[in-house]
Chain A
Amino acid sequence: MSELPPESPTAVTDWLLALGRGDKPGLDQMVPVVYDELHRLAAQYLSREGTGHTLQPTALVHEAYLRLIDQRRVDWRNRAQFLGVAAGIMRRILVDHARGRTALKRGAGAEAVSLSLVESPSGRPEVELIALEQALERLTALDPRKAQVVELKFFAGLSAREIAEVMGISDATVEREWAFARAWLYTAIDGAAG
């Protein structure tokens, strides 16, 4: 990819390092820049208009990290913190995108879509994002840690190892929380649709 990031890696890296020291303004300055970069990468992925550069679905947050952060100045903790922030932003981008498409479809006079499970490109059923978001907000109220695992795994595509680093828990705990959260979300969505 030839386009340059809108902000210099120096500035974004400074904000990330500030965030690592517990400085909240660092986060406030960093979020819009990470949002723009992820938004651009997500749009590129969705429109499949890559210029010979094929993005993997799990690579978007990593790509944003590589482009925005000066690797020489940060350690694994800073990286984990970045991935945690990026996951929340990916969630917002994808849910907003799903809402926009629903509004577009309704606006065009098509019948309202009420399906909560849809076919994914692989042919397996996949959850519909707006129904999932509603269920995930309920799960957050009951058990924020499980909801965060879902955000990191499903929205950001992070591996269990990376999720363990972001959250400061063991890989085994990640797997257990994920198994429960997924089963719970599925029954919550299924119940709401039925």
Chain B
Amino acid sequence: MTSTYWARLNSVFQDALALPAHQRADFVSRTCADDPALAAEAALLVSAHSREEGLMEEPAIVGAGLWPSDEPPALAGRRFGAYR
């Protein structure tokens, strides 16, 4: 991946987000008409953004205690104690 590609992907993504949601897909395909791979990846990112707005908004530690979920919570402290 070239730095030009990455910079363009970033700017298409940011410009698309500045638009109302219903205009974003059109904007991406128009702006990236010369580069189908870029168009596809930008579209994927824009759709991931609107689909997963709440993802990772809570700090990592909030989810860290429950995975895998069938382990008794008290074990977490003991595992930590065994580290280092």
Contacts and interface: CB of A to CB of B under 8 A. Distances in A.
A57 B61 contact: yes
Interface of B: 1, 6, 10, 13-14, 17, 44-46, 48-49, 52, 54-56, 58-69, 71, 73-77, 79-81, 83-84
A127 interface: yes
A110 B69 CA distance: 12
A92 B53 CA distance: 25
A101 interface: yes
Give chain A's interface residue range (CB within 8 Å of chain B). Answer: 35 or more
23 contacts: A39-B80, A39-B83, A43-B76, A43-B77, A44-B77, A46-B80, A57-B62, A90-B60, A90-B61, A94-B64, A100-B79, A102-B68, A110-B68, A118-B67, A119-B66, A124-B58, A126-B63, A179-B14, A180-B10, A180-B13, A182-B55, A184-B48, A186-B48
B56 A154 contact: yes
Interface in A102-143: 102, 104-105, 110, 113, 118-122, 124-129, 132, 142-143
A157 B63 CA distance: 13
B27 to A, nearest CB: 16
A7 B39 CA distance: 54
A102 B67 CA distance: 8
Contact of B65 (A39, A46, A122): A46
